[in-house]
């Protein structure tokens, strides 16, 4: 498995950056090679990608999601990959979006691309275009504020019973921590929002209709 870790600082409040990331059907506007995403259920999306002339379709399932904090996912079929994106408040109007992804290159071309850092370069480009997208719009295009607890691992209590304090660290842009440890550890925004009631469920999360895979 190959691990990639990238970050971008966005000129938007953490709530706005998080809300926009929940709008998976908007991803083709800034993700290279993503042709279409369909929201099948609140936690499952169907992807169609065209990368290097190779067309792939697969489903991805959200395994953990906490508003203004993190979204984790893994593929259900197709190319094996998993990841987590976390949102870190730098100040009232700036958010660090930090993405970690682990995937298994399948073809010789993909393995060569991974070795040369081409996939990491493409993912950084996706994050940079996300920054441009949300800063150009000035606000989110929609929001889904649902909460999804990570399934308990063997020998572990349910998330509600774990207790303890939430992680509050802000990863540096070029950080390179162990992926599995980071994925298992809760990481939360420095100051969870105290704004009013949650937004209404948007069209693409209201019924039948994340993350860039190589």
Convert the pLDDT of each residue in 100-147 to its tens digit.
999 776 666 666 666 666 788 989 999 999 999 999 999 999 999 999
Q: Which domain holds residue 122?
A: 2-148+166-195
> CATH number of the domain that 13 lies in?
3.30.530.20
Task: Quote the pTM value.
Answer: 0.71
Residue 49 lies in a domain: yes
Rounded Cα–Cα distance for residues 58 and 46 (Å): 6
Residue 207 lies in a domain: no
Q: pLDDT class for 174, splitting at 50, 70, 90? A: low
Residue 25 lies in a domain: yes
Residue 155, pLDDT above cutoff 90: no
Q: Which run of H or of E encompasses 19? A: helix 14-21
Burial class (CB in 10 A: 0-12, 13-18, 19+), 99: buried
The number of distinct structural domains making up the chain is 1
Sheet with 44-51, edge to edge strand ranges: 2-10, 94-103, 81-91, 70-75, 54-66, 44-51, 34-41
Average pLDDT over the chain, rounded to an integer: 78
Residue 158 lies in a domain: no
Residue 154 lies in a domain: no
Residue 205 lies in a domain: no
Residue 101 lies in a domain: yes
Residue 211 lies in a domain: no
Rounded Cα–Cα distance for residues 96 and 5 (Å): 13
CB-facing half-sphere around the CA of 206: CA atoms within 13 A: 8
Convert the pLDDT of each residue in 50-74 to its tens digit.
877 788 899 999 999 999 999 999 9
């Amino acid at each position: 498995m190959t691990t990639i870790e990238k970050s971008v600082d966005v000129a938007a409040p953490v709530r706005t950056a998080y809300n926009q990331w929940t709008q998976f059907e908007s991803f083709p506007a800034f993700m290279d090679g993503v042709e279409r995403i369909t929201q099948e259920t609140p936690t499952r999306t169907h992807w169609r990608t065209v990368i290097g002339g190779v067309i792939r379709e697969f489903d991805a399932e959200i395994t953990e999601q906490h508003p203004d904090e993190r979204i984790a996912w893994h593929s259900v079929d197709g190319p094996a990959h998993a990841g987590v994106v976390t949102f870190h408040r730098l100040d009232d109007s700036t958010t660090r979006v930090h993405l970690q992804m682990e995937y298994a290159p399948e073809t010789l071309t993909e393995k060569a691309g991974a070795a040369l850092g081409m996939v990491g370069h493409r993912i950084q480009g996706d994050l940079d275009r996300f920054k441009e997208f949300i800063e150009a719009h000035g606000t989110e295009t929609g929001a889904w504020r649902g909460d999804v607890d990570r399934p308990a691992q063997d020998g572990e209590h349910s998330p509600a019973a774990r207790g303890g304090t939430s992680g509050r660290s802000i990863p540096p842009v070029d950080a390179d921590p162990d992926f599995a440890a980071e994925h298992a550890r809760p990481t939360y925004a420095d100051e969870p929002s105290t704004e009013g009631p949650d937004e209404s469920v948007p069209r693409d999360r209201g019924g039948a209709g994340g993350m860039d895979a190589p």
